A and B are shown apart, each in its own frame.
Chain A
């Protein structure tokens, strides 16, 4: 596995993703999510997490009625993967980790 976004989107149940860095947000979600208004809230969410120096881990899972959001954090980059609740969570977390590691590697080049 190369750890590409393409592979992430192919994972069963995955509907989209958001990548947040200090100076930018990249959103790829189906239109039904209405993300236009969400940018500020996502930014606040990211800032709130990054401000803390006592995070117990680097993966955060948010469950809603019809979906699950897995947020992987590494250095100052956060990858949020939006998926259906029937997805295999272990695979989702592992794929998220690999994709984020790849994003950071590409950025460091």
Chain B
């Protein structure tokens, strides 16, 4: 795979990179990473034809990643998508992204980050207010422990949408910053067991996803309620399959599958 352009999002934000790739009529995949989040935007001769960011596809995925102010970007020449999800022109998409960024700047002046934790305002002034259903869905999850990101994930909202809802309900006076302002961190250790299987899977996933691989392995095993020391073939195959679905980009995912199915077929015998 030909990787041509790379850099930091602190210096060049996503909309600027999109503009450059569009003017250059480039074909390939722009991969953006921001912590644990990854977005992929595919270009065909300068036009965007597919984008994916977490659970989001299409233009929504572009707007989600457009607001990232930190992280990295890489452009992989000639990488093509499996599906087409974007229909609007780059100019239309960038105009909408610019609107979203302005909106987000207003929001971040009140909510510095999506790791903020809020609790219900006990001193709420007695007055009649009307709230939308999405605001109610968020409200019922606010418990002084969960962060904005946690609640967004629970109800299936992207970061920007979750922050917009929080912004509105803070302005309504329904919630306030929790006295314990930091979200409870999940107790996830990055110590992976030292076994041939875990080492192989870590190496293969690191090639596909970079240094975040150990976190992804632990998180996936935790989500699947799976013990990494378990040498059961079914569990291992399920873990490999699930991990492969988390790799952005079809060719990277196939390379990982290729390596690990080989390992399942041969490595198991060598243990």
Contacts and interface: CB of A to CB of B under 8 A. Distances in A.
Interface of A: 1, 3, 58, 74-75, 88, 90-91, 93-95, 97-98, 101
A94 B265 contact: no
B182 to A, nearest CB: 38
Given A58-B82, A74-B82, A90 B262 contact: no
Interface stretch (B5-13, B87-95, B97-105, B253-261): B253-261
Among B82, B233, B241, B261, the one with the most A-chain Cβ atoms within 10 Å of its Cβ is B261
A3 B255 CA distance: 11
Contacts of B262: 1
B234 interface: yes
Interface in B217-262: 233-234, 237-238, 240-241, 244, 250, 254, 257-258, 260-262
Contacts of A95: 261
A75 B81 CA distance: 10
Contacts of B234: 88, 90
B82 A94 contact: no
Nearest to B237: A90
Chain A at the B interface: mostly helix, strand, loop or mixed? helix
Interface string B193-222: 000000000000000000000000000000
A93 to B, nearest CB: 6
Contacts of B264: 91
A67 B233 CA distance: 21
A3 B241 CA distance: 16
Contacts of B237: 88, 90-91, 94
Nearest to A58: B82
A88 B260 CA distance: 15
A3 B258 contact: yes
A91 B244 CA distance: 12
A94 B233 contact: no
B254 A97 contact: yes
29 contacts: A1-B261, A1-B265, A3-B258, A58-B82, A74-B82, A75-B82, A88-B233, A88-B234, A88-B237, A90-B234, A90-B237, A90-B238, A90-B240, A90-B241, A91-B237, A91-B261, A93-B241, A94-B240, A94-B241, A94-B244, A94-B261, A95-B261, A97-B254, A97-B257, A98-B254, A98-B257, A98-B258, A98-B261, A101-B250
B258 A1 contact: yes
A75 B237 CA distance: 25
B232 to A, nearest CB: 10
Contacts of A93: 241
Contacts of A1: 258, 261-262, 265
Nearest to A92: B237
Contacts of A91: 237, 261, 264
Contacts of B257: 94, 97-98
A57 to B, nearest CB: 10
Contacts of B258: 1, 3, 98
A1 B260 CA distance: 9
A30 B121 CA distance: 69
Contacts of A98: 254, 257-258, 261
A84 B82 CA distance: 30
